[in-house]
Amino acid sequence: MKKIKLWDLPTRLFHWLLVASIAALFITIKVDMDNGIGWHAKIGLFVVGLIAFRLAWGFIGSTYARFFQFFPTPSKIIAYLKGEWHELGHNPLGALSVFALLALTAAQAGLGLFTSDDISFQGPLYGLIDGELALTFTGWHRWLAYGLLAFVGLHVASILFYKLVKKHNMVIPMLTGKTEVADNEAGKAAKGGGGVALIIALVIAILAVWGASGAWIPAPPPPAAEIQTPAW
């Protein structure tokens, strides 16, 4: 057996930061909503940056982080179900899970930007839509949270299935970045995703957070001063 590079550091950091962020988002709402809503909003913006980074990294990152490398085509899915798929990286069903998780998380974070609790909190982009639509988005944001939680549970269950049934540990490579392959296998170590690509992806993530924060929205004009009419 030999060890080869599978997951680059940015991919691994994204994965674990997203795990921690999703956990923190649920804690800040379910444990102490009154005091946690501010942190919830900040973490939500951080997730926007994470998703933007991963989308960019999916095109300019290293070999097995790129979307085209593991995109789940029908032929790949059929081959996997027949036991004929023997490649490195995400298997076709795992790839479906990756794209679904990215889509769910992006939708949840995006909806959160327009939400309001009708008391003291408004999302950073709340002012761009009317109140009725914001109310709809707020409802979707709340219900989609349960869907995201269920999907995360399914993801964890699949990891346990691979560990206990198929005797394939999917966690260790995401921690170390390396996997073991037989000497006679044609698996190639990941390449690409260097410093320039990392800077580009980080810039895209920062711009996404800035856009989502609403910092570019002009401040409303101050209210007009009332003219005092003399009492005589």
pLDDT tens for each residue of 112-131: 999 988 777 899 999 999 98
**How would you label 66-91 residue by residue, b for 16+ Cβ within 10 Å and e otherwise?**
bbebbebeeebbebbeeeeeeebbbb
Rounded-to-integer distance, Cα 159 and Cα 50, Å: 22
Once rounded to an integer, what is the mean pLDDT over residues 130-136?
92
Once rounded to an integer, what is the mean pLDDT over residues 84-89?
89
- CA nearest to 13, candidates 196, 209, 175: 175
Q: What is the pLDDT of residue 76?
A: 94
Rounded to a whole number of angstroms, the distance between the first and last alpha carbons of the chain is 99
Number of Cα atoms under 13 Å in the Cβ half of residue 78: 3
Domains, in order of start, for the chain: 2-213 (1.20.950.20)
Lowest-pLDDT range of 63-72, 84-93, 199-208: 84-93
- pLDDT band for 219, please (50, 70, 90 cuts): confident
pLDDT at 226 over 70: no
The first and second tokens of residue 127, run together, are 């002012």
For 153-211, the pLDDT digits (tens) are 998 999 999 899 988 889 999 999 999 887 656 578 999 999 999 999 999 999 999 99
Q: Read off the pTM.
A: 0.91
Which alpha helices (H) appear in 31-180, and where do they start and end?
Answer: 33-60, 67-70, 74-81, 92-112, 131-164, 171-176
Number of other residues whose CB lies within 10 A of the CB of residue 65: 25
**Max Cα-Cα span within the chain:** 101
138 SS3 class: helix
The residue with greater pLDDT, 229 or 75, is 75
Contacts of 164 (CB under 8 A, 6+ apart): none
Distances (CA, A) of 145 to 1, 175, 181, 219, 229: 42, 27, 38, 31, 54
